[in-house]
A and B are shown apart, each in its own frame.
Chain A
């Protein structure tokens, strides 16, 4: 396959508990993940198994306790412009217009004004927010705000997109529309992405592979290739008969039937 864009090599993350030195929380342990160029990989696992922790390490915000994270072959030691993340919260700045919000990343990177305005406009058109360029975030719906957040993430042209449950705060229908947008955008731009979600069908609809994590300390317990055509059109993919068996397998791995009270 193509070159490796994102790699976790034997990564462990321990959080020190306050006071006591020795013992702390081991969030993830001896983890190996490789994401290839243009691949979309979903991470699924029980709450608290360390999915967000993994993304934070990849973004360079939190160092790994042991092991190394590589992006494009370079060890990640601090935040860098090769990765960009997107969270459940849109984190739009209320005092900036949508365009200015989209420009935040490239502005920090020092891109000249005219250039970044052009990029922002282009991306907002692509994200179907062309009419809202000069609006403020509070004038937009939740789905539109999350699309603006996606545009902001894409604006820095990152090699790898890190997405932490980006659609989990949206209603079911808006969510499907945004999945469709994301699927199309990822396919058009050929971006590499690591996608965390609790929504099993979302993971199947959007990704090439699904990594299932165990309870804490998080480890990869299974890798499920999603062998369904048309990754660029998640709405079509959802309807594929192959979805059902994968959902069943994921439920089994996550012990969802047992967890139910």
Chain B
């Protein structure tokens, strides 16, 4: 059993790697063969060259760092707010009843539409970008935590209370751990949304970050630059997502179907 499992994994990895090579090769030569001009899809070598050029002349790493920092701060603030609100609303039906119309309205409003507003309020600083990220990250986390707290079997809470548990003990020993799996599902979504939030903020205004490079590349008609920027944005998102999945694997090691590292 174990042996076949290992060879199975090897085979899958080999398959994945060859597919990646095919993809790179296709990127390099397929556009030329199919007659697609480089300003529509620049071949791999051109994008790589642009990447090296941007490293040297466009402060690519610095812009990436700025975006990554905003993503991280926006993500952390957003999920913190989401988790706290999720628990408060989940445990207090009154609070939820009073606040739910506003929450619903805010949830339906497209969060990225707030970007210009935040730029008007805070100018071309990091603040509007972080705020958009916070706003967009907040909801999936809050909703997931809220419904998880609701879904806790009331008999488990009664059992703990029969063991003379205080409210705080019920929270830390029952409600909090019980809501971790849905919370992490929310965090995964939040990780991808945080990048979108910051990017929109950067697109709307400012002269820093990958969003700025994106508009710059567009204005200059430099398709390769746009490609490089999109790839860097993806890497920032992937890094955050990867960290979340890593932490999740540690925290939720007790979950039954967690032996396969999935997406």
Chain A residues at the B interface, C-beta cutoff of 8 Å: 59-61, 79-81, 83-85, 87, 89, 91, 93-96, 104-105, 107-109, 136, 138, 156
Contacts and interface: CB of A to CB of B under 8 A. Distances in A.
B178 to A, nearest CB: 8
B159 A156 contact: no
Contact of B254 (A79, A95, A107, A156): A95
A87 B105 CA distance: 42
Nearest to B159: A91
B164 A108 contact: yes
23 contacts: A61-B158, A61-B161, A61-B162, A80-B164, A83-B162, A85-B162, A91-B153, A91-B155, A93-B156, A93-B174, A93-B178, A94-B254, A94-B255, A95-B177, A96-B254, A104-B159, A104-B163, A104-B173, A108-B160, A108-B164, A108-B169, A109-B163, A138-B256
Given A94-B254, A95-B254, A138-B256, A108 B155 contact: no
B177 A93 contact: yes
A217 B161 CA distance: 27
B165 interface: yes
A156 to B, nearest CB: 7
A105 B158 contact: no
Interface of B: 153, 155-156, 158-165, 169, 173-174, 177-178, 180, 252, 254-256
Interface centre among B156, B164, B173 (most CB of A within 10 A): B164
A109 B160 CA distance: 11
Contacts of B161: 61, 79
Contact of A107 (B162, B173, B256): B173
Given A91-B155, A95-B254, A109 B162 contact: no
Given A94-B255, A104-B163, 13 more contacts: A60-B162, A79-B161, A84-B163, A85-B159, A85-B162, A91-B153, A93-B174, A94-B254, A95-B254, A96-B254, A104-B159, A109-B164, A136-B254
Contacts of B174: 93
A60 B159 CA distance: 11
B203 to A, nearest CB: 42
Interface centre among A85, A94, A108, A136 (most CB of B within 10 A): A108
Contacts of A91: 153, 155-156, 159
B170 to A, nearest CB: 9
A136 B254 CA distance: 7
A138 B181 CA distance: 16
Given A93-B174, A108-B173, A138-B256, A79 B156 contact: no
A95 B177 CA distance: 7
A81 B163 CA distance: 6
Contact of A108 (B158, B163, B178): B163
Contacts of B158: 61
Contact of A81 (B160, B164, B178, B252): B164
A187 B113 CA distance: 70
